[in-house]
Amino acid sequence: METRRDYLKKMGLGALALNIAPVYSYANESIACLKPADARKIYLNANENPYGPSPLARKAMVESVTKSNRYGWSQKPELIAAVAAYNKVSAENIMLGSGSTEILNLVLQYAAQQKGNIVTADNTFNFWMSPAKTLGLEKINVPLTANKENDLTALKSAITAETKLVYLCNPNNPTGTLCKREELIALVQEVSKNTLVLLDEAYIDLTDQESLSSLVSKNQNLIIAKTFSKLFGLAGARIGYAVAHGNTIKKLSSLQSWTNGAISVVSTAGALASLKDVNFIEKTFLLNVEARAYTIKEFEKLNIRCIPSNTNFIYFSLANYTGQFFEQLKKHNIVGTRIYEKEGKWSRITVGKLEDMKVLINALS
């Protein structure tokens, strides 16, 4: 089965994938902030890629601006084909959305056609579920394990005859934990016999674990949501996609007034170019690994207990930290998140550039 590294090798940059040495030119490159007043801030809140968009994506997006007077009819098949190739599936298995949030939302609408419930973990990425109640879906929350991992056995047990959707985030946000692939496959295969499974793989490309995309050709009840917002550095460009069986894609598409239409000409150009920018992909991956390892090591020295992370963010407990965490962040213009779990004072921080993480550690020391 193909992994991110196999993809890179196929694209001709296999050596980079095995060698951390030649990667640092992006680390100090400045990326514009949306508002000039925010330029002093360090954003460690939304799990964005601090290095992106990639150089090839930036060039392609600038060049495509002058084509924005046209609808992007002819561009979309090219992006769908490229996304399909990246995921080793066929074009019929892909549907584009304005960020994966649009995909998650469409799946919610699809599942809500018959009223019932959603089974999901607690904590997980759940802001997109806010329309669930209005759509007639009750939410059943299943606690994570003590190690902050998805509890697959408990999730399975929570399913009832009324369950219309099981949502699983792997790696999980906010905890950064990864399911064991074989266990996840077993769960998906069993649960999807009766229920729709939505697998959120927003961060899978930042791990060495293979996506479950190869399962969709034989499974009409599995929908995988993926995004260009994280590894590819295009959060503001709003491009995500669903990987699913062809019949399922058709059903989901019937909920979109204009199938694949929510993505602008500029964003489409950026996504296409970023898939080709294997140099950037690998650099981002490796720089994240380095800055994450540094942060965890320094957090532990400060008595901030960390859950081992497989992503570009870290879940940590402030229970034994004696400083004023949030006050220090504010003082040093660092944007963090919040307390997710009062018990244990669990919070999350995005892994930014190494230099940003050094500012963070200095602020907290």
Ligand X SMILES: Cc1ncc(COP(=O)(O)O)c(C=O)c1O
- Which residues of the chain form contacts with ligand X (CB under 6 A)? 47, 99-101, 125, 169, 173, 200, 202, 227, 229, 235, 240
Q: How far is the CB of 99 from ligand X (least distance, A)?
A: 3
Shortest gap between Cβ of 301 and ligand X (angstroms)?
28
Contacts 24+ apart (CB under 8 A), 249-258: 249/92, 249/93, 249/94, 249/95, 251/110, 252/95, 252/103, 252/106, 252/107, 252/110, 252/223, 253/95, 255/106, 255/109, 255/110, 256/95, 256/97, 256/106
Q: Based on CB atoms, which residue is closest to ligand X, 120 or 317?
A: 120
Cα–Cα distance between 156 and 193 in angstroms, integer?
A: 12
Q: Which residue of the chain is nearest ligand X when measured via CB?
A: 99
**Cβ closest to ligand X, residue 288 vs residue 298:** 288
d(CA 243, CA 300): 38
Cβ 264 to ligand X shortest distance, Å: 15
Q: What is the CA radius of gyration of the chain?
A: 20
Taking the least distance from each CB to ligand X, the nearer of 75 and 229 is 229
| Strand 240-244 versus strand 94-97 pairing type | antiparallel
What's the closest the beta carbon of residue 100 comes to ligand X, in angstroms? 3
Give me the least distance between CB of 323 and ligand X, in Å please. 27
Return the number of the residue (47 or 279) whose C-beta is nearest ligand X.
Answer: 47
Taking CB atoms within 8 Å and a gap of at least 24, the contacts of 129-134 are 129/167, 131/105, 132/108
Q: Which is nearer to ligand X, 259 or 328 (CB)?
A: 259
Strand extents, DSSP E, the chain? 42-43, 94-97, 116-122, 137-143, 163-169, 196-200, 222-227, 240-244, 305-306, 313-317, 334-335, 339-341, 346-350
Amino acid in position 324? Q
**What's the CA angle centered on 38, arms 34 and 43, to 5 degrees?**
90
The residue among 60 and 121 lying less far from ligand X, judged by its C-beta, is: 121
Nearest-approach distance from CB 202 to ligand X, in angstroms: 4
- In angstroms, the CA 7 to CA 17 distance is 10
- Decide whether 206 or 364 has the Cβ nearer to ligand X: 206
- Residue 209 CB, shortest distance to ligand X, in Å, is 15
User: Which residue's CB is nearer to ligand X, number 117 or number 350?
Assistant: 350
Query: In the bound complex, what is the minimum distance in angstroms from residue 198's beta carbon to ligand X?
Result: 10
